[in-house]
Amino acid sequence: MIIEPRMRGFICLTAHPTGCEQNVINQIEYVKSKGTIEGPKKVLVIGASTGFGLASRITSAFGSGAATIGVFFEKPPAPGKTASPGWYNTAAFEKQAIKAGLYAKSINGDAFSDEIKQKTLELIKKDLGQVDLVIYSLASPKRTHPKTGVVYSSVLKPIGDSIFSNKTVDFHTGIVSEVSIVPANEEEIENTVAVMGGEDWEMWINELKEAGLLAEGAETVAYSYIGPAVTEPVYRKGTIGRAKDHLESTAFSITNSLKDIGGKAFVSVNKALVTQASSAIPVIPLYISLLYKVMKQKGIHEGCIEQIQRLFSERLYSGNEIPVDPEGRIRIDDWEMRDDVQTEVARLWAEATDESLPLIGDLPGYKRDFLNLFGFDVAGVDYGKDTDEMVEIPGLV
Ligand code: NAD
Ligand code: NA
C-alpha cells in the first residue's frame, strides 16, 4: 500500500518500513565509517527499537561486532495497518545483522514485567551464556509494578508552589505561545519516579546477576538528561528530573551489588534530541529548535547515533578510565552544555516569536527529524511506491 504520515497531535499514527530501513542503514554506515571499537561482545539492550537504545544496539553490533538481544514494546503490523516505527527499525537492523553474520534476537513485550524478564534471561542462558553490557534505555509513560500490580503513570510537571509559565512552540504550525503548568502533587511525583526512576533497572540487573548471566566485569548503562536553566522547571527540577535523580543514585547501588564480579553501573547524560517522548514535553521543542540551529552553525550537531558512537569510542571503551563528572555521571551532553552554545541559545530564547523563529530557529530540522522517527521524509526513499506493511522481524523470540 501507499503509506503516508497521519498526524494526531504530537504523534504520528503510521510508519514507513522503507524509510525506517533507510534510517537504520544510514546509522549502520555511520558507525562503520568511524572504525572498530574494542567494545562489548554480548549485549542486552532494554529499549532497543528506537532512539538512544537502537543507536546503542547498532553501535554494539556494527562498531564492536557484538551479539545483541533487544527488548522493546512495539506494535506489529496488521493487514492495512502499519507497525510502530520500532518494529520496522528492528526488522531492518536484524536483516543487516544477519547479512553481517552477527547474532541478533529480539523480544517484544513489557520490559517492566516478570514474564518478559524471565523470557530474556532464558534466551541469554540458552544462546549467549552471559552478557558483558546491559543498556537500559526505556522511555515509557506507564509502568505496571510486577510485584504489586499497581499501575503508575508519569507526568511532566514542575514541582513547587507556583504555576510555571514560559514560551513553547507548536512545531507543526510554528506558533510560539505562552504555556502555564500547574505544579505536580506528591502522588504525581512518586508515580513519575516509579515509572522513569531506577527501580526497574535494578530489578533487571539483580535478576541477571542472580541467574549468573553477567560476565566478570560486566557494565550497565542507563541514560539521563540535564539541560539548561530555561527547561529546568519542566525537566530537571520537575517530576521527570526527580525520576532522573533516582536513576542516577540507583547507579551507585547497582555498582555496589556488582562488586564481587567487578561490574559497574553508569548513567550517561545525553544531548536533547527529537524523539516521540521529547516532543510531548512543553518548552522543550522550542529549546531544541534553537539548540539545533546553534549547534549546526558551529558544526557540532549530533543525532542519537553520533552521540552513542562517541559514548562507546571516547568514554566506555576508549581504553582509558571512564571519565565522569563530580556526581559520577558520564557526560556526552558536553557540546550541548558548552558556554558559547548556551549563551547563544539563551539570547535567541529571549527573542523568539512566531515572526523571528523561522530565522533564528531550526524548525525545518525539527520537523524533518520528527517525520524521520516514523520513516517519513527520509532522503532516497520513493514514497509513491507500493510498500508491504507486513514486515517480519526475523529473530523475534
Ligand atoms: P524512545 O521513545 O526513542 O525509546 C524508548 C524505547 O523503550 C523503545 O525501544 C520502546 O519500545 C521501549 N519501551 C517503552 N516502554 C516499554 C516497555 N514497557 N517495555 C519494553 N520496552 C519499552 O526514547 P529515547 O528518547 O531514546 O529515550 C531513552 C532514554 O534516553 C530515556 O531514559 C530518556 O530519558 C533518555 N534521554 C533522552 C533524551 C532525548 O532528548 N530524547 C536526552 C537524554 C536522555
Ligand atoms: Na531508546
- 256: in domain: yes
Q: Which long-range contacts (CB under 8 A, 24 or more apart) does 278-284 make?
A: 279/10, 279/171, 279/370, 280/10, 280/156, 281/156, 281/234, 281/235, 281/240, 282/156, 282/168, 282/179, 282/181, 282/234, 283/166, 283/167, 283/168, 283/179, 283/230, 283/231, 283/234, 284/231, 284/234, 284/235
Q: Nearest Cα to 61, choosing from 86, 85, 40, 83? A: 40
User: Tens digit of pLDDT for each residue in 138-174?
Assistant: 999 999 999 999 999 999 999 998 899 999 998 888 8
Q: Residue 137 C-alpha to ligand 1 middle, in angstroms? A: 5
- The rounded percent of the chain whose pLDDT value lies above 90 is 93
What's the pLDDT score for residue 195?
Answer: 98
For 284, the grid coordinates are: 522543550
User: Tens digit of pLDDT for each residue in 29-51?
Assistant: 999 999 999 999 999 999 999 99
What's the pLDDT score for residue 275?
Answer: 86
218 CB contacts (<8 Å, ≥6 apart)? 130, 131, 132, 133, 134, 258, 261, 263
Q: Is the CB of 197 under 6 A from ligand 1?
A: no
User: Tens digit of pLDDT for each residue in 10-28?
Assistant: 789 999 999 999 999 999 9
* CA dihedral for 106, 279, 338, 329, sign (positive or negative): negative
Q: What is the best residue among 120, 143, 223, 239 to mutate for testing ligand 1's pocket, by most ligand atoms within 8 Å of CB?
A: 223
What's the pLDDT score for residue 236?
Answer: 95
The ligand with the least distance to the CA atom of 304 is 1
Catalytic residues: 235
- 392: in domain: no
Of 9-13, 327-331, 379-383, minimum mean pLDDT range: 9-13
Of 20-24, 163-167, 253-257, 290-294, minimum mean pLDDT range: 163-167
What mean pLDDT is predicted for residues 210-224?
98
Q: Residue 386 C-alpha to ligand 1 middle, in angstroms? A: 31
- 388: in domain: no
pTM of the model: 0.98
The ligand with the least distance to the CA atom of 70 is 1
What's the pLDDT score for residue 250?
Answer: 98
Nearest residue CA, atom 21 of ligand 1? 72
What is the rounded distance in angstroms from the CA atom of residue 53 to the CA atom of residue 138?
A: 8
What's the pLDDT score for residue 171?
Answer: 86
- 253: in domain: yes
Is 90 exceeded by the pLDDT of residue 1?
yes
* Ligand 1 atom at shortest distance from the alpha carbon of 53: 26
Residues that constitute the known binding site for NAD(+): 47-52, 73-74, 110-111, 138-139, 244, 273-275
What's the pLDDT score for residue 139?
Answer: 95
What's the pLDDT score for residue 161?
Answer: 87
Q: Is the CB of 223 under 6 A from ligand 1?
A: yes
What's the pLDDT score for residue 227?
Answer: 96
Phi, psi of 273 (to 5 degrees): -140, 155
* Ligand 1 atom at shortest distance from the alpha carbon of 373: 3
What mean pLDDT is predicted for residues 381-388?
98
Nearest residue CA, atom 27 of ligand 1? 139
User: Tens digit of pLDDT for each residue in 73-131?
Assistant: 999 999 999 999 999 999 999 999 999 999 999 999 999 999 999 999 999 999 999 99
Nearest residue CA, atom 8 of ligand 1? 47
- 228: in domain: yes
Residues forming a β-bridge with 284? none
- 336: in domain: yes
* Ligand 1 atom at shortest distance from the alpha carbon of 196: 32
- Rounded to the nearest 10 degrees, the angle between the axes of helix 239-257 and helix 199-210 is 20
Nearest residue CA, atom 3 of ligand 1? 51
User: Tens digit of pLDDT for each residue in 347-365?
Assistant: 999 999 999 999 999 999 9
Q: What is the best residue among 44, 46, 52 to mutate for testing ligand 1's pocket, by most ligand atoms within 8 Å of CB?
A: 52
What mean pLDDT is predicted for residues 213-230?
97
What's the pLDDT score for residue 289?
Answer: 95
- Could you list the beta-strand ranges (E) of 182-259: 214-224
Confidence band, pLDDT 50/70/90 cuts, at residue 278 = confident
Between the CA of residue 315 and those of 2, 37, 104, 255, 323, what are the distances in Å? 43, 11, 25, 18, 6
What is the rounded distance in angstroms from the CA atom of residue 383 to the CA atom of residue 385?
A: 5
- The CATH number of the domain where 47 resides is what? 3.40.50.720
Nearest residue CA, atom 31 of ligand 1? 139
Between the CA of residue 357 and those of 172, 174, 238, 246, 276, what are the distances in Å? 13, 8, 26, 36, 22
Q: Is the CB of 277 under 6 A from ligand 1?
A: yes
Residue 349: burial class (beta carbons within 10 Å; 0-12, 13-18, 19+): buried
Q: Nearest Cα to 41, choosing from 64, 23, 73? A: 64
Residues that constitute the known binding site for substrate: 225
Radius of gyration (C-alpha) of the chain in whole angstroms: 20
Q: Is the CB of 89 under 6 A from ligand 1?
A: no
Q: Residue 351 C-alpha to ligand 1 middle, in angstroms? A: 32
- 389: in domain: no
Confidence band, pLDDT 50/70/90 cuts, at residue 280 = confident
What mean pLDDT is predicted for residues 222-238?
95
Question: Domain count of the chain?
Answer: 1
Q: Is the CB of 138 under 6 A from ligand 1?
A: yes
State the residue range of the domain holding 179.
7-373
Nearest residue CA, atom 29 of ligand 1? 137
- 221: in domain: yes
Q: What is the best residue among 275, 281, 334, 366 to mutate for testing ligand 1's pocket, by most ligand atoms within 8 Å of CB?
A: 275
The question of ipTM being above 0.95 is answered as yes
Confidence band, pLDDT 50/70/90 cuts, at residue 281 = confident
Share the mean pLDDT of the chain. 96
What's the pLDDT score for residue 349?
Answer: 94
